[in-house]
Amino acid sequence: MSYPDDAKLSRRDFLKYAAGAAGAMSVPAVLGACAAPQPPSAPAVATPTPKPQQTLRVLALNWPQTQFEQKLADEVFTPKTGIKVVIDQTPYTFLEQRVKQLVSSESAEYDIYHYDSQWIGGFIAAGALERLDTPGYLNSSSSEISFDDFFPEIVYRLAKYPTNEADLTAGNFDAFADTPIYGLPWSLNCQVLWYRTDLISTPPDTWDEVREMAKSLTTDDMYGFAWEGSRLGDYISVDYCPLMWSHGGELWNPEARKAEGFINSPQSVHALQFMRDMVYEDKSVDPASANWTISERLEAILQGRTAMALNWVPLFGGIADDPNASGVVGKIGFAPSPAGIDPVTGEKRRHAMYGSQGTGINAFSSNKEAAWKYLQWLLSRDTQKALVDEPGAGFVSARHDLREYAAGKSPWQRIFLESIPDVRDFWNNSCYAELLDVLQRELNLAYVNRKTPQEALDDAAVAHQVIYDTCSDI
Amino acid sequence: MFPWLLFAPTVIYLVILTIFPLIYSLGVSLFQVTLGRPATFIGLSNYREILIDPAFWHAAAVTGVITIAAVTLEVVLGVVIGLILNRQLPGLGLVRLIVYFPMMLSPLVMGYFWRFMLDRSLGVVNWMLRVVGIHPLGWLIEARLALVSIIMVDVWQWTPFVILLVMAGLQTVPPELYEISTLDRASTWMQFRRITLPFLRTPLMLAVLFRTIDTLKLFDTVFIMTGGGPGDFTQTLSVMDFKIGFTYFNVGKAAALSWLIVVIITVLATLLIQKLTVRPGSRVTSA
């Protein structure tokens, strides 16, 4: 009788088994590819003519407005111009990487890229975006749109590069009169305070009031406030930054290219301590929020598990009153991002986190003329008004001539427009991703109690200084 | 000439899709390549920079812990469940189908799926713990638990792969061996040790080989579930490589790290394959 106790395989047998095992392992990959989420299909086109002669491809974020943009393009732009528009939607987490990969290969696959405000420096350094303040585009006598059509507080951060936050926050837009333009506004957003109108009659004006109110509103079934504390993307940073700026903190000193004494200033440390104390001292914030992104926080609001939270408008404004998505329809109010009191000077400041996206023409596109036609149509008054009119699109136009119109449409559109003077953004240079990753890591470590706020921000200062000293674009 | 013509498509395929990218990435790893700037030759600086970076050694340790724990559990559970499912009992066909299901899911979908299930407040896992009177756990927000969660999810998804191999191996055991050993009054344990386990040796070694290679490259589930957090506590080598390559877009350094990962995997895989294979003629046969 044979027992293969010590038997080993011949190479032929090994390959035979290995091929079978590899086949088994490939099953999830194949099924995964089959099950990969597809962008929503375009709505049926009602207008039959003319037959599209050209196809324009847009790489977009999967924001609520995108499907309505596709619908409008199919119903209005394509019949008018004969140019078919295909908008590919990508989740926020992956869009930046995808564009960078396309740019590095000088790809002409897409004619138009949507981008977040922080990415502009890196994209321009890579030569990804066509300059638009040139005779072929905005400076053409036949251009149907002008850069002056849009309000500068929002659009300068998206379209011009290089800029600086100090002048933009001070409203000194003349400083950028000759700064090149690379994009146009696509989706405008900032974080404001969402609160439950059935529980709060007057929304809190300052962060100290938020904290007190959150404590009193916390019950067994509901927390008073919600942060998003995830280490992924920019989630914890976009909640921390407006809190920190409002308390008088800064991320850095751009003139001196210095982190020490700014990112770890007493005001910055105070803000991070404040954030953490709401979780562990007051217990008015769910500790689970240490891994929450935009989705979990929105879910907490819509399921009635938190009384207040910062959240994006107009992006999610329409969802608050959608009975298919929300369990608190008619109970959500919107107030400006709370003000902070500087613990050192006693000064009161209010800042809202900026989070808008722009759109630009791929510098390697072979359809630049058609792309420019599309952008002129997209930014025209009629198209922008149609998007404002669609509550599900979560949209506010950057056009001056639609400002009053949008403000009268809904509370969330109005609060965004009121918050414009308060918006601030973080870095937008080509090294922003490294700076942000360090900040995310350190803030998250403090949030989960692995470091004190002082330790976390001291470590961030050291790591940031290395980047400031070595990044050629800063 | 004709044999070479038949051989040519395979060679062309390998050169274009495997050999050229490998050599190209090796070249890239010797340059400083960042998006939008001309590449600069820097020799082995990328490798040196990675090897002196504590983050690399931390990520290597995390990857090692996940690999050892996950592969061990997958093999042990795979054998136990495989033996149970190999019995001829009514309804087991359906159970087998259900057991294989996790393996068929895309890791990305899986990551989101478990991320929501393990949420401290909104997740179903803590809800079930609360029902039985256990305090909810911070699965994805406490450093050690986050690592345990990642191992747990990998085991959940890939134990079926080991079960599949084990069940294939069990089909090769001649039933008469059990009959004879029963006549010889061998105990169940003795039958398992002396008959079943030797026949499972090859499938299990293959399972260890494939799962080790795959777990050393673990990316999707970690990236989606924790993003490498809290802090960098669950950052694996692949997550670190992705960040360097596609977030910082430091392509040269990312290529260097990829090569280091390739070297680690190749050394381990070669050792395992050597254990599995012998030169022709040295095969052990019966007494």
**Residue A153: predicted pLDDT:** 87
Amino acid at A26: S
| Disruptive mutation site among A5, A15, A16, A17 for chain B (greatest number of B CBs within 10 Å) | A17
Q: Which of A10, A13, A288 sits opposite B121 (nearest CB)?
A: A288
Across the range A134-159, mean pLDDT stands at 94
Q: Using the predicted structure, report yes or no on whether residue A239 has a pLDDT greater than 70.
A: yes
**Residue B287: predicted pLDDT:** 34
**Residue A41: predicted pLDDT:** 41
**Residue B35: predicted pLDDT:** 73
Helix axes B251-276, B54-85, angle to 10 degrees: 40
Confidence band for A247, pLDDT divided at 50, 70 and 90: very high
Q: How far is Cα of residue A43 from the mean position of the Cα atoms in its chain?
A: 26
Residues of A in contact with B25 (CB under 8 A): none
The tokens of A173 are what?
């837009």
Q: Using the predicted structure, report yes or no on whether residue A227 has a pLDDT greater than 90.
A: yes
The tokens of A30 are what?
């194949």
Q: Using the predicted structure, report yes or no on whether residue A29 has a pLDDT greater than 70.
A: no
**Residue A44: predicted pLDDT:** 44
Q: Write out residues 114-173 of B within 8 Å (CB-CB) of A.
A: 115, 119-122, 138, 140-143, 157, 161, 164-165, 168
CB–CB contact A448 B230 (8 Å): yes
Q: Using the predicted structure, report yes or no on whether residue A35 has a pLDDT greater than 60.
A: no
Q: Write out residues 178-217 of B within 8 Å (CB-CB) of A.
A: 180, 194-195, 198-199, 201-203, 206-207, 209-210, 214
CB–CB contact A437 B107 (8 Å): no
- One DSSP character per residue, A72-116 reads HIIIIIHHHHSEEEEEEEE-HHHHHHHHHHHHHTT--S-SEEEEE
Residue of A nearest to B222 (CA): A232
Q: Using the predicted structure, report yes or no on whether residue A24 has a pLDDT greater than 70.
A: no
- Chains A, B: CB contacts within 8 A come to 181
Confidence band for A12, pLDDT divided at 50, 70 and 90: low
CB–CB contact A25 B284 (8 Å): no
**Residue A40: predicted pLDDT:** 40
Helix axes A381-389, A64-72, angle to 10 degrees: 130
Q: Model pTM greater than 0.90?
A: no
CB–CB contact B141 A288 (8 Å): yes
Q: Using the predicted structure, report yes or no on whether residue A21 has a pLDDT greater than 70.
A: no
- Please indicate whether residue B236 or residue A105 has the higher confidence score (pLDDT): B236
Q: Using the predicted structure, report yes or no on whether residue A367 has a pLDDT greater than 50.
A: yes
Q: Which of B227, B221, B229 is nearest to B110 (CA)?
A: B221
Across the range A4-19, mean pLDDT stands at 54
- One DSSP character per residue, chain B reads -HHHHHHHHHHHHHIIIIIHHHHHHHHHTTEE-BTTS--EE-TTHHHHHHHT-HHHHHHHHHHHHHHHHHHHHHHHHHHHHHHHHTS--TTHHHHHHHHHGGGGS-HHHHHHHHHHHT-TTT-HHHHHHHHTTPPP--TTTSHHHHHHHHHHHHHHHHHHHHHHHHHHHHHTS-HHHHHHHHHTT--HHHHIIIIIHHHHHHHHHHHHHHHHHHHHT--HHHHHHTTT-STTTT--HHHHHHIIIIIS-BHHHHHHHHHHHHHHHHHHHHHHHHHHB--TT------
Confidence band for A92, pLDDT divided at 50, 70 and 90: confident
Residues of A in contact with B164 (CB under 8 A): 24
How buried is A349 (Cβ within 10 angstroms: 0-12 exposed, 13-18 middle, 19+ buried)?
Answer: middle
Confidence band for A459, pLDDT divided at 50, 70 and 90: very high
**Residue B1: predicted pLDDT:** 75
CB–CB contact A290 B180 (8 Å): no
**Residue A318: predicted pLDDT:** 86
Percent of chain A with pLDDT over 90: 75
d(CA A321, CA A327): 9
Per DSSP, A466 falls in state H
**Residue B284: predicted pLDDT:** 44
CA distance B90 to chain A (A): 25
Residues of B in contact with A101 (CB under 8 A): 246
Reading chain B (287 residues) residue by residue, the pLDDT tens digits are: 788 888 899 999 999 998 999 999 999 999 998 776 788 999 999 999 999 999 999 999 999 999 999 999 999 999 999 999 988 778 878 888 888 889 988 888 899 999 999 999 889 999 999 999 999 999 999 999 999 999 999 999 999 999 999 999 999 999 999 999 999 999 999 999 999 999 998 899 999 999 999 999 999 999 999 999 899 999 999 999 999 998 888 999 999 999 999 999 999 989 888 877 765 555 444 33
CB–CB contact A25 B210 (8 Å): yes
**Residue B167: predicted pLDDT:** 93
Handedness of CA B99, B103, B104, B107 (dihedral sign): positive
In this complex, is the C-beta atom of B22 within 8 Å of any C-beta atom belonging to chain A?
A: no
Q: Using the predicted structure, report yes or no on whether residue A230 has a pLDDT greater than 80.
A: yes
| Disruptive mutation site among A93, A231, A280 for chain B (greatest number of B CBs within 10 Å) | A231
Across the range A104-123, mean pLDDT stands at 91
- Please indicate whether residue A8 or residue A277 has the higher confidence score (pLDDT): A277
pLDDT in tens, A279-323: 999 999 999 999 999 989 999 999 999 999 999 999 998 888 889
**Residue B249: predicted pLDDT:** 86
Across the range A251-278, mean pLDDT stands at 96
Confidence band for A341, pLDDT divided at 50, 70 and 90: very high
In this complex, is the C-beta atom of B280 within 8 Å of any C-beta atom belonging to chain A?
A: yes
Q: Using the predicted structure, report yes or no on whether residue A38 has a pLDDT greater than 60.
A: no
**Residue A273: predicted pLDDT:** 98
Q: Which of B138, B199, B210 sits opposite A21 (nearest CB)?
A: B210
Residues of B in contact with A13 (CB under 8 A): 202
Q: Which of A27, A126, A300 sits opposite B104 (nearest CB)?
A: A27
Helix locations, A395-452, DSSP H? 403-407, 411-419, 432-447
